[in-house]
């Protein structure tokens, strides 16, 4: 398939949110596995999420229409050089990510090369956020790609010790009022409406899908 027209079967989601169908930014499968492993490692070591929040301009894989939209946006600002000619972008090959924060760039500079992501082989050295993946055999990918919490998925209405653990982690991360106005910081075992609201606040802060459901990505972001 040509640049910007990759088959859906060749793509996989990475941590983050997107208005596209499925709600996740995408990369080529091998690059997506590497980026997810990098995210897992960063969360485990520093608590820094590598999740990508996309808007109208795609920050990961860009289909042809998205490449055209990005080109129009930058050219309207007199900065055409910030977007490749549609059909020639590495975004269209599913091997490039535009970071969201400088903190994420710091992670890339520390360990990104161990997962195949580095500014050293970027095609746009003047853009701090633009990071390209280079295919290769990276042992750290294999080590951290499958790093996911064994804790159960939680949602409103459930009860148990995992809910208590969730509330303690939310408190540690600075999220308050997860049990209602009268007992805002109480570590009871019930996943109430207020707990779901607290989880959504945390998910938005970490660029996760704010659905109030605690799955593997949310557990990882909490440091579980």
Question: Per-residue pLDDT tens for 164-212?
Answer: 999 999 998 899 888 888 877 888 999 999 999 999 999 898 888 888 9
- Are residues 114 and 202 located together in one domain of the fold? no
- Are residues 87 and 179 located together in one domain of the fold? no
Please give the average per-residue pLDDT across 109-121, as a whole number: 95
pTM: 0.67
- Are residues 137 and 173 located together in one domain of the fold? no
What's the pLDDT score for residue 67?
A: 76
Please give the average per-residue pLDDT across 111-133, as a whole number: 93
Task: Give the DSSP letter string of the chain.
Answer: --TT---GGGEEE-SEE-SSTTSS-EEEHHHHHHHHHHHHHHHHHT-----EE--SS-SS---HHHHHHHHHHHHHTT-GGGSPPTTS-GGGGT-EEE-S-HHHHHHHHHHGGGTTEEGGG-S-TT-TTEEEE--S--HHHHHHTT----SPPB-TT-BSHHHHHHHHHHHHTT----S-GGGTT---SB--HHHHHHHHHHHHHTT---SS-B-HHHHHHHT-
Q: How many domains does the chain have?
A: 2
- Are residues 52 and 87 located together in one domain of the fold? yes
The CATH number of the domain where 173 resides is what? 1.10.101
- Are residues 19 and 84 located together in one domain of the fold? yes
Q: How far apart are CA 216 and CA 176, in angstroms?
A: 21
For residue 154, being part of any structural domain is answered with no
Q: How far apart are CA 158 and CA 175, in angstroms?
A: 20
What's the pLDDT score for residue 150?
A: 58
Lowest mean pLDDT segment, chosen from 35-44, 62-71, 167-176: 62-71
- Are residues 129 and 181 located together in one domain of the fold? no
């Amino acid at each position: 398939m040509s640049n910007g027209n990759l088959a859906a079967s060749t793509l996989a989601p990475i941590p983050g949110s997107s208005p596209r169908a499925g709600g996740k930014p995408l990369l080529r499968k091998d690059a997506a596995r590497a980026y997810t492993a990098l995210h897992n490692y960063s969360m485990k070591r520093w608590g820094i999420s590598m999740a990508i929040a996309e808007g109208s301009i795609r920050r990961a894989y860009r289909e042809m229409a998205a490449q055209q939209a990005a080109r129009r946006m930058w050219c309207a600002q007199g900065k055409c050089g910030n977007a490749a000619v549609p059909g020639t972008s590495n975004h269209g090959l599913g091997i490039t990510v535009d970071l969201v924060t400088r903190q994420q760039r710091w992670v890339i500079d520390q360990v990104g090369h161990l997962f195949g992501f580095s500014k050293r082989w970027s095609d746009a050295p003047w853009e701090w956020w633009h990071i390209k993946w280079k295919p290769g055999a990276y042992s750290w990918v294999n080590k951290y790609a499958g790093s996911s919490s064994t804790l159960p998925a939680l949602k409103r209405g459930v009860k148990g010790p995992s809910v208590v653990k969730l509330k303690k982690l939310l408190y540690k991360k600075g999220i308050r009022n997860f049990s209602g106005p009268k007992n805002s910081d109480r570590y009871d075992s019930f996943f109430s409406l207020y707990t779901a609201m607290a989880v959504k606040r945390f998910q938005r802060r970490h660029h996760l899908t704010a659905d109030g459901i605690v799955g593997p990505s949310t557990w990882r972001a909490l440091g579980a």
